[in-house]
Amino acid sequence: MKRTDFFRCSAHTLCALVLFPLLLLKACSKPYTDAQLREDIAQKLMIDIRYFCNDGTVPERCRTPVTTLPDEIGALIRQHNLGGVILFRENLHSTEQIIRLTQNLQHAARQSSAQHPLFIGIDQEGGRVFRTPREYTTAFTGNMAIGATYPVYGTHFAKQSGTVIGAELKALGINLNFAPTVDVNNNRDNPVINVRSYGEDPQRVAELGLAQLTGMQQQGILATLKHFPGHGDTHVDSHHGLPKVSHQRERIEAVELLPFRHSINHGEPAMVMTAHIQFPALDDSKLMDTQGNHQYRPATLSRAILTDLLRTEMGFQGLVITDALDMAGISHFFSPEQALIETFRAGADIALMPLRLHHPDDLSGLEKLIDAVVDAVRQGELSASEIQQSAARIRHYKQHYQLAKAFKVNTKQAITAAKQLLGNPQHRLIEQQLTDASVTLVRGTTQLLHDQVQELLLVMPEQSGCMALQHELSLARYALSSRCLSMDDYHAGAFSTQLQAVEAVVVGSITPAASLVEFGGMYDQNTTGEQLSPQQQQVLIPQLIHQAKAADKPVFFVSLRTPYDIPLLADEADTVLAVYGYNTHQVQIDGRTLVTGPAFAALARALTGISEPEGQLPVRMH
């Protein structure tokens, strides 16, 4: 079969059903040598190159970002025929630097014996989980904002945001996106999904997820439905522990599984990412952990969930990738070798971040990990034919998405084209239109601020948000004067002093606190960035609102994240709005460095009457 035959199918599903079995038959007709087995195992691994230290730093303390490809990592890719890498914010500084890094990664892959291009992946969901610099790429406000626009705009903004994100990733040499998140967030205490979800209605989540996925994949980016079978109804973050969903099968079918089924039945999802979550109703078998305890198998390690349910029953034809295996939901219970063997036995095609490679001394661990899988195959613990089939499926998707084109890219031309595309005026316009359309008036009216108020006090959780709103209010209404009071530098008495000099107060809230995935992952467990904890802020906010009302000042409360806590925090507020995001970035205007952000721009226009809030809550507050 010629390479070009892969691109003659008008539909990806037809290619998968017709051409992939022919490839597999051809692959399986040859003797399966040890060298081929090792190559196939390596194709099933996707490593993290966020940090690397070759200067004697202790591996556990290594925080030197990889912005240019270290010789040691390049050699690792060449030697082992690795399948892919994942990039993080620390790897991504400028357009030129990112393109040179992705090109050097692909150059290393081209020099391997197999010469298969790399999957270069990223968590680019939009909103809070966004890895490329917001200053020059289009971040959008996130999925819950998209969900708020659905009653008026349907799937329009989901498709548009997917298209823009996909085009900009493609321009940077990134070919795989771990998005969209199609978890149905119906648990108000969910610490990790919340605003990353389109909402709590499964059908709405299904339609928006498919639209965003389609937009990305039409740009040549492999998109990923996550986190299968669903992470929305948990109160434990799988970065910290091992959550369990105890619902019966009927309820899981109607809620958690519905968005995945919808995309599989009506679209062509390239990937599905697993969840490190126990679902006893889907698999009640148990596995002994490293402490000698028997645990329900998390979905990532469950053949009943990944093979019997996802592949056989639901008919998924694409690639199954694990969530990061260094997360506590796996790594605190299972060794890297056990986790890798069990997830391959379960039916996962790709293991994401199976071990850390921060130091030259760590690199030998990769070969040991491959050795462990080889031994498991030779001892009959893993099926050689399933490893072979999985690797053939990976190669098929790399060919179908024409990833080898990266071997022939002219780097200078790519940099020039990317600078013209990234964050261009049309993309920024779509970003702002989405955010404007998502602003939700939960209670009251914004009329109080339109003309009467001249002096305004802004109380925001973070200094950057306070500065962004102050800047955007000055653009929306020049005569309006505002003062900033940030809770990340809050001092008792400051509010009382400022309150006397203003006519109205805007109070913002971020709940729940940011999760590890927003920072990047397990490396960031001690990152807070706040002097007042989220819990302290939640105690303080109602007190500030009460004090302002006692002083006869109108109060505008703004939910900057998920709106679940509005009834607890803003009972006395005159007007309540939700904007679902608080991302900011710097801009240069007339030689000055200013702070802005699409949510704060949309909020300023709503508060000053330039635009009317159109959004509707995608979740219930009670």
**Catalytic site positions:** 323
Q: Are the C-beta atoms of residues 537 and 490 closer than 8 Å to each other?
A: no
Q: Are the C-beta atoms of residues 139 and 431 closer than 8 Å to each other?
A: yes
* Pairwise CA distance, residues 358 & 335, whole Å: 18
Nearest partner of 355 among 322, 379, 326, judged by Cα: 326
3-state helix, strand, coil in the chain (%, to 5): 45, 15, 40
Sheet containing 351-352: give its strands across: 176-177, 119-122, 84-86, 45-48, 351-352
Q: Tell me the two tokens of residue 237.
A: 């973050």
Contacts of 55 (CB under 8 A, 6+ apart): 64
Residue with tokens 């969900």: 147
Residue with tokens 């060919």: 399
Q: Characterize the bridge pairing of strands 119-122 and 585-589.
A: unpaired
Q: Tell me the two tokens of residue 229.
A: 């079978």
Q: What is the CA radius of gyration of the chain?
A: 25
Q: Tell me the two tokens of residue 378.
A: 């030779």
Give backbone dihedrals phi and psi of 135, rounded to 5 degrees, phi first.
-60, -35
Using CA atoms in the order 278, 284, 288, 289, what is the torsion angle rounded to 10 degrees? Answer: 0
* Pairwise CA distance, residues 223 & 232, whole Å: 19
Q: Are the C-beta atoms of residues 594 and 586 closer than 8 Å to each other?
A: yes
Q: Are the C-beta atoms of residues 316 and 229 closer than 8 Å to each other?
A: no
Cβ–Cβ contacts within 10 Å for residue 405, how many?
A: 12
* Pairwise CA distance, residues 266 & 281, whole Å: 26
Which whole-number Å values give the CA distances from 414 to 96, 102, 180, 368, 402, in the listed order?
9, 11, 26, 38, 17
DSSP 379: T
Q: Tell me the two tokens of residue 359.
A: 């130091």
Q: Characterize the bridge pairing of strands 271-274 and 319-321.
A: parallel
Q: 86 - beta bridge partners? A: 48, 121
* Pairwise CA distance, residues 446 & 405, whole Å: 52
* Pairwise CA distance, residues 377 & 391, whole Å: 14
CA angle (532 as vertex; 527, 533 as ends), nearest 5: 60
* Pairwise CA distance, residues 307 & 312, whole Å: 6
